[in-house]
Amino acid sequence: MGALTRILLVLSVSMAIGCESPPQTSGITSDDLDEVTAQMSAKLASSDFLRDRNPSSPPILITINKVENLTSDLIPPAEQWMLMARLQGSLNLVSVRNQKNISFQVPPEYGPLIRDAGYNEPLPHSPMFTHTMTATYRSATRTKREDGFVVGRVDLYQMQYRIFDVTTRALVWNDEFAYKREALGRAQD
Amino acid sequence: MKSFRWIAVLSFLGFIVGLTGCMAKPDVELTKTFQTGEFGTARAYMVEKTAKLKVLGEKDKPDRNYGLEWMRTGMVTLADGYAPEGFSAWDRVYYMLRKQNLNSNISDVGAFFGTQDMAKIWKGEPFEQSLAYVCVGSHYAMQGSWDNARAAFQNSTFPLKAIKGKDDATTKKVRSTQDVINASKNVDESKYFGKDNILEVETNFAMGYLLQGLASRQIAIANGDASMLQQAGEAFNKALKLDPGLSALVNRLNDSSSYNTVLLVDYGRGPQKIGTGPDNSIAAFKALKASGSTGVSVVNGSESISFTPICDVNGMAVDHRWNNLQDMRTAKSYLGTGLLVAGAATAAIGQSQETAIIGLILMAGGAALKATAYADTRYCEVMPQRYYLVPVMIKGPNSTIRLSIEGNTTVLAGLSPPSSRQAQFRYVRLLTGPNLPAWTKSGQILYANEHAPMAGAVALPYILGGTCVSPPSAAALARYRSAGYLRAMTVAQLEGLYRQEGITWTTQDTQGQVCKHVLEGGNSLVCPLPGTLGYARLFGQPHRPYSPKSKEVADLARSLAPPPAEKAASR
């Protein structure tokens, strides 16, 4: 092998170093939100609030009226309401609706936003709701630093859901879900 | 043989000169249209450019200019008074900035043998990143989404890097990049650029804290959360610690009864990024508009008040804490010079053909290193020179606000009090120059739109010869009918007319991008927010009559031609 060939080979290998490392983010993704939604709907269905209900219980109609993002990351309104629409979709399963006589809805004014975001399932609406649901998302951030540079970041997200009785304003259900996202690599490169 | 060598030497010298001309230059088309307030044209230009960019998945690497092109698009959209709810330019910028490890595939050797702008995915200098987060926050605040605005503003106050000197005094004093370079001459550079001497320091970005405090306060107003109110107080205190001159503004922001509308005013042309030093290897920013402390005079009804600047972008651009280090580029330049000289000497003095070839190879290497040593001068050329924050109380519908800075006056039209207890937010770009267009001061609304449905002279769609550019709806049709037009038409038929003309009234059809408005010859009815420069430009001046594209609309427009008296009124 000639000297020139060797030099070119070394340079090529050196320039290729690090090509396999993909970008990472500790931000919230739709998959994370879907996972939390699935956990949340399962826990709500088996909660004290719903456990003793049966098909002949007085009907409950819950409207999801507020989503608040107090994390250090963006959750665009369309994504916030898309999540609630998916939640409503999973809770409006025939089994829950028929066996517990309960249904969920998102406010009709968010319908176009949810549709724009790509949600195509039904969005039922009735003005006669009996309960409201709120969702609040919070986060805490930890960073790893080397030589003054952030080289790793962990975000712990906590999602709190609450259901209130519209007549008494009493809190009838409250639960929290947490998950962690981590990312390695320089934050400012 | 000797003449061959000298021809070769001269050829390579020419080669160097040619290659150094590859440095990135400002986008002329964008800056020309943006600086003259032709935001619709600027936006259409950027929409076309960004259409070629790849859509990103979570683990995808973006194009090298992905962040830059979307930031430019975001700036022209925001300056024009739009904050679309779909997946916007600013969402794309945000998710790009939040990605770590973006430039990890560039090994030191790879970067050394390439150019910075060829190798790096653009994320901007730290100060550009901070301003980008402010714009993301402004975008969401304009939508009334104060929670997301707070998240973005919070991200703008990330810690900075400082170079530790003999004592920590250097980290406390604002020094320019040039100061640092001068100070490093004749000393061991490792003391300045060595890894162990880089410190992390808290940001001095007072505007970021001010906006963070404002957003936290608005959230507290809506949900009564005491912790948010406390966070607002802490953020305001940080801003005051950095700039005690902000006390009057902070007092006003803390008194919710004194304002229901906040304008973030963007003024002057931001600094230009250039290459300086050997082979343009050091990036620096050159002020295009001098910094100054002149206040913005605000006339709102009977109230007249002045506010001082809250951010000097020129100052940020020259403060070394807000810039990346250039040591590798400088080293490349010096090494390139060395190789070039050695190569030239070998080629010219050597006695054999072999030594001439070795000399030429050395020269080629040196030339390539020098030619690629130039700094990455890509930057967002539509950034302002300074910012003002203006909290005002809008008392009645369709109010006007008059803003003046250094003799440049703009009248914002169509502002009404917000419908909730939270303040409304507007990002306002002010134009400068001796011959500002008349619409900047008109304060009129000549066309009915979704925010001012009763404005305009002829209650008939603009595409049919009227002065209404409201999206098709039952309410709009009712107005046309009460004016004696389109009595037999249904909403679906009205929508059909717009579709035949290829006109859209949402950003859903355009992947969240706002296209050129129909009044400017475009195909969109999406309207900027009242109280912005875009709203003043679009509705504060008469536009040419619409030229229908379809036969059906053209025939209908002819049959509906308003009586001469109405035509005259609409002019």
- Beta strand B296-300 with B399-405 is antiparallel
Question: Distance from A54 to chain B by nearest Cα, in Å?
Answer: 35
Band of the pLDDT at A97, cuts 50, 70, 90?
Answer: confident
Chain B's closest residue to A22, CA to CA, is B59
Nearest to A24 by CA among B158, B98, B54, B129: B98
Band of the pLDDT at A25, cuts 50, 70, 90?
Answer: confident
Two structure tokens written together for B499 = 């579709």
Contact B158 A188 (CB under 8 A): yes
A71 shares contact with chain B (CB less than 8 Å)? yes
pLDDT tens, residue by residue, B382-399: 999 999 999 999 999 999
pTM for the full predicted model: 0.84
Contact A71 B151 (CB under 8 A): yes
A3 shares contact with chain B (CB less than 8 Å)? no
Helix B146-155 / helix B126-143 crossing angle, nearest 10 deg: 170
Pick from B61, B99, B151: CB nearest A69: B151
B168 shares contact with chain A (CB less than 8 Å)? no
Contact B95 A27 (CB under 8 A): yes
Query: What's the rounded mean pLDDT across residues A106-121?
Result: 74
Residue matched to tokens 């004014």: A109
Contact B100 A73 (CB under 8 A): no
Contact B126, B177 (CB under 8 A): no
Contacts of B101 in chain A (CB under 8 A): 21-24, 183-186, 189
Q: Is the pLDDT confidence value at B168 over 80?
A: no
Contact A189 B102 (CB under 8 A): yes
User: To probe the interface with A, which of B60, B102, B121, B138 has the most A CB atoms within 10 Å?
Assistant: B102
Q: Is the pLDDT confidence value at B25 over 50?
A: yes
Query: What's the rounded mean pLDDT across residues B504-517?
Result: 79
Contact A25 B100 (CB under 8 A): yes
Least confident of A5-9, B37-41, B308-312, B362-366: A5-9
Q: Is the pLDDT confidence value at B308 over 50?
A: yes
Of chain B, the end-to-end C-alpha distance in Å amounts to 79
Q: Is the pLDDT confidence value at A141 over 90?
A: no
Query: What's the rounded mean pLDDT across residues B497-513?
Result: 83
Nearest to B215 by CA among B427, B75, B422: B422
Q: Is the pLDDT confidence value at A10 over 80?
A: no
Q: Is the pLDDT confidence value at B268 over 50?
A: yes
Question: Distance from A151 to chain B by nearest Cα, in Å?
Answer: 8
Question: Where is pLDDT greater, at B389 or B3?
Answer: B389
State the Cα–Cα distance between residues B131 and B241, nearest whole angstrom: 20
pLDDT at B190: 46
Question: Distance from A176 to chain B by nearest Cα, in Å?
Answer: 18
Query: What's the rounded mean pLDDT across residues B15-37?
Result: 74
Q: Is the pLDDT confidence value at B460 over 90?
A: yes
Query: What's the rounded mean pLDDT across residues A66-70?
Result: 87
Q: Is the pLDDT confidence value at A60 over 70?
A: yes
User: To probe the interface with B, which of A74, A113, A139, A182 has the most B CB atoms within 10 Å?
Assistant: A74
Query: What's the rounded mean pLDDT across residues B353-360?
Result: 74
pLDDT at A171: 93
B143 shares contact with chain A (CB less than 8 Å)? yes
Pick the most confident of A70-74, A139-143, B113-117.
Answer: A70-74
Q: What is the mean pLDDT of chain B?
A: 83
Two structure tokens written together for B273 = 């990024």
State the Cα–Cα distance between residues A104 and A89, nearest whole angstrom: 8
B262 shares contact with chain A (CB less than 8 Å)? no
A70 shares contact with chain B (CB less than 8 Å)? yes
Half-sphere exposure of A51 (CA within 13 A, CB side): 6
Least confident of A29-43, A105-119, A139-153, B91-105: A105-119
Band of the pLDDT at B48, cuts 50, 70, 90?
Answer: confident
Pick from A18, A25, A153: CB nearest B104: A18
Contact B359, B346 (CB under 8 A): yes
DSSP-assigned beta bridge partners for residue B283:
B275
Band of the pLDDT at B298, cuts 50, 70, 90?
Answer: very high
Pick from B109, B126, B200: CB nearest A145: B200
The percent of residues above 90 in pLDDT, for chain A, comes to 7
State the Cα–Cα distance between residues B397 and B418, nearest whole angstrom: 10
Q: Is the pLDDT confidence value at B496 over 50?
A: yes
State the Cα–Cα distance between residues B97 and B155, nearest whole angstrom: 10
Q: Tell me phi and psi for residue A35, to 5 degrees.
A: -65, -45
A17 shares contact with chain B (CB less than 8 Å)? yes
pLDDT tens, residue by residue, B172-209: 444 455 555 555 455 444 444 444 456 677 889 999 99
Helix (H) or strand (E) run with residue B427 in it:
strand B424-430
pLDDT tens, residue by residue, B532-541: 999 999 999 9
Least confident of B51-60, B224-233, B282-291: B51-60
Contacts of B226 in chain A (CB under 8 A): none
Chain B's closest residue to A154, CA to CA, is B100
pLDDT tens, residue by residue, B397-425: 999 999 999 989 999 999 999 999 999 99
Type of residue found at B489: M
B161 shares contact with chain A (CB less than 8 Å)? yes
pLDDT at A150: 76
pLDDT at B191: 45
Query: What's the rounded mean pLDDT across residues B519-544?
Result: 94
pLDDT at B20: 53
Pick from B85, B123, B151: CB nearest A189: B123
Q: Tell me phi and psi for residue B284, to 5 degrees.
A: -145, 160
pLDDT at A59: 87
Type of residue found at B430: L
pLDDT at B509: 63
Query: What's the rounded mean pLDDT across residues B423-433?
Result: 94
Question: Where is pLDDT greater, at B276 or B570?
Answer: B276
Q: Is the pLDDT confidence value at B59 over 50?
A: yes
Pick from B101, B155, B199: CB nearest A148: B199
State the Cα–Cα distance between residues B24 and B122, nearest whole angstrom: 12
User: To probe the interface with B, which of A11, A34, A65, A70 has the most B CB atoms within 10 Å?
Assistant: A70
Query: What's the rounded mean pLDDT across residues B504-512?
Result: 74
User: To probe the interface with A, which of B147, B354, B506 has the most A CB atoms within 10 Å?
Assistant: B147
ipTM tops the 0.95 cut: no
Band of the pLDDT at B102, cuts 50, 70, 90?
Answer: confident
Query: What's the rounded mean pLDDT across residues A143-166?
Result: 83
B456: phi > 0 → left, psi -120 to 50 → alpha, else beta; which?
Answer: left
Question: Where is pLDDT greater, at B97 or B54?
Answer: B97
Which ranges in A17-149 belong to alpha helices (H)?
30-45, 48-51, 77-91, 94-100, 111-116
Contacts of B99 in chain A (CB under 8 A): 23-25
Query: What's the rounded mean pLDDT across residues A8-23?
Result: 53
Query: What's the rounded mean pLDDT across residues A88-106?
Result: 75
User: To probe the interface with B, which of A11, A25, A182 has the most B CB atoms within 10 Å?
Assistant: A25
State the Cα–Cα distance between residues B466 and B571, nearest whole angstrom: 11
Contact A74 B223 (CB under 8 A): no
Band of the pLDDT at B441, cuts 50, 70, 90?
Answer: very high
In angstroms, the Cα distances linking A97 to A59, A82, A135, B297, B394 are: 10, 21, 21, 60, 47
Query: What's the rounded mean pLDDT across residues B490-503?
Result: 95
Q: Is the pLDDT confidence value at B260 over 50?
A: yes
